[in-house]
Amino acid sequence: MANEQNRSSMTRNYPIGAEIIDDFVDFRVWASSNTNMELIIEQPFSQKIKMTVEEDGYFSASVKKKSEPMLYRFLPENYKSLLPDPVSRFQPQGPKGASQVIDASLFEWSDQDWKGLIAKNQIIYEMHIGVYTPEGTWLAAAEQLEQIADAGITILELMPVCEFIGNFGWGYDGICLFSPYHIYGTPDDFRTFVNKAHKLKMGIILDVVYNHIGPESFIEYFSKEYLSSHSGEWGNHYNFDESGSKHVREFFITNACYWVDEFHIDGFRLDATQEIIDKSQVHIIKEIVSKVRQASPEKSLFITGENEPQQRMLIDDYGLDAIWNDDFHHTMHVALTGKNDAYYSDYTGAAQEITSAVKYGFIYQGQFSRWQKKRRGSSTEAIALSKFICYTENHDQIANTAFGTRMHQLISPSKCRCAAALLLLGSWTPLIFQGQEFNCSSPFLYFADVTFPIDKYRWEFLKQFPVIKTEKIASIMPHPAESDTFLKCKLKLNERHNNNFYTMFKELVKLRKNDPVFSSLDLYHIESAILNDNTFILRFLKENEGRLLIFNFGKSLFCSPVANQIFAPYRNKKWEIVFNSEEPAYGGYGIAEIEFIEGWRLPAECAIVLKSV
């Protein structure tokens, strides 16, 4: 064991965790609920070490480094069983097993030229490693990265990957927040995945859950001060503003910096930020964002957040680059499916709502929500439209159909193509949920390998939908804890082959990236015209360039352009079609001429893009 003189000369990267420093492994843990702590080395030798007591509830110890993997646990004074390190870098036997010392410096990175992500002109791809491939591993997913890059994706947003209970799950109930989930592979497998993504010019952002503690957590046995007096629908909140919160804040700041430093992560999606309760003078979100950027000044990070109340302070005050826009999803869901029960009852799906999302971001900017019975949202004035992340599918919304039904399985193929065109050519930052790009047949259900009655908790949430509330539907819903529920969600990646929708998807992405107007996000002027509740026209204008976008989610329509100048060719030029969603190559039936002396004939359930020439 290193003596105190040796320890005092050691320079740590982080204030907590197990770090290799020269010839030693240095251990440091915060455990303010204990007056004594023992470090138990289990491999490659057995040793029990009484740790040195430091100020503010910290304990430390050092041991000589070995070439073989080192496994260890702690024995807190107030808990008579061995526990993993709360800052464990790897749990090879799961969250209740021994922690493994990891030397991140041994991995050979080849992404030195990668400088991170800018906030504009990105296309986000939400991904669950466990169901993306049959194997459900980092290395298997890495084999698919070239295909994903070829589709034009620029950011992979990984659903939570830190260690959680069970053999499968969404990951939002993590309990070892520094340890990549062992079933996906080793930490170096994760690094291999990131390294290859960077080689293909794709960034990686992590979905992180800082709003509640997962079930079967052990962190409170180290310090009860980790827990807040607040609790929410998913569990206990972390303590960011009460006694001992200084050290809890340090834990989460360290966590964010760690992922960027040791895994070259390019940013984060902060889950359910409205549930991160902090009444401190400086909110923990703001501090995390500031400190992680300071720790990586040479790298451009992309940090986003989910926020159901739609509070602009995440961008203005906390420094986030973008925010999820549920409004767009909800109005599109109603427009496409006609279903407006539960939280969808606040939306009509009318063209006016959709164009409001295109032009202003949030639809709710302080208006009264009938469903929530309170005002919702905040003004979006002066916020760049690229800072709104929009989607027609994501993990939550697909699973909230009870049977994990994909949008394309609820609507006609022509409507689906039309919606894809709007999503990919809109003024926002689009997010695609895995498999959406080729209209995959796999559902995405809620799954969690836990022993408590998760089906009842899930049903309590979903019963807000009247149909799901019925006994008949409730009795046939897939059980979240059954392995078959998880396995049904595995993607069938061979469905990408000879896929008309996938062909169209890639063409739309090319148009967004290469067209001089669409690629100039936040720099073009947007005009709109409502023809009826199902049909609207957008005109994007930039200097001498104009683009006319026609979206008709209803039946065919004949209209006169005389009363609406938006039809007029921009700057005395003429309109030329550059995209239509009914192309036979995309699975459509083609379109006839749309402009006549008498007026314009707009085909049913179709998107048409024209440019000024």
The set of catalytic residues is: 271, 306
CA distance 333 to 602: 22
Q: What is the DSSP letter of 300?
A: B
Q: Which residues touch 24 (CB under 8 Å, ≥6 apart)?
A: 2, 6, 10, 62, 63, 64, 65
Laid out side by side, the sheet with 37-43 consists of 47-50, 37-43, 71-76, 99-100
What secondary structure does DSSP assign to 48-70, as a single string? Answer: EEEPEE-GGGEEEEEEE--SS--
Q: DSSP characters for 108-123? A: ----TT--B--SSS--
Q: How far apart are CA 181 and CA 161, in angstroms?
A: 6
Long-range contacts of 409-415 (CB under 8 A, 24+ apart): 410/336, 410/337, 411/336, 411/337, 412/605, 413/501, 413/587, 414/581, 414/582, 414/588, 414/604, 414/605, 414/606, 415/336, 415/553, 415/605
Residue 293 half-sphere exposure toward CB, CA atoms < 13 A: 15
**Residue 518 Cα to chain centre, angstroms:** 24
Q: Is the peptide bond between 44 and the residue preceding it cis, with omega within 30 degrees of 0?
A: yes
What's phi and psi for 408, nearest 5 deg? -65, -20
Residue 84 CA neighbour count, 13 Å, CB half? 27
Q: How many C-beta neighbours within 10 Å does residue 582 have? A: 20
SS3 content of the chain, % helix, strand, coil (to 5): 30, 25, 45
Q: Which of 582, 574, 578, 572 is closest to 602 using CA atoms?
A: 582
98 CB contacts (<8 Å, ≥6 apart)? 42, 43, 71, 72, 73, 82, 84, 91, 92
Q: What are 372's two structure tokens?
A: 């929530």
Locus of tokens 């439209």: 385
Q: Which residues pair with 50 in a beta bridge?
A: 38
Q: What's the residue count for the chain?
A: 613
User: Scanning the structure block, which residue is given the tokens 């910290």?
Assistant: 58
DSSP secondary structure letters along 236-256? EEE-SSSTTHHHHHHHHHHHH
The amino acid at residue 183 is: I
Say whether 207 sits in a helix, a strand or coil.
Answer: strand
Instruction: State yes or no: cis peptide before 569, omega within 30 of 0.
Output: no
Q: 477: closest CA among 503, 500, 456, 499?
A: 456
If 0-12 CB within 10 Å is exposed, 13-18 middle and 19+ buried, where does residue 370 land? exposed
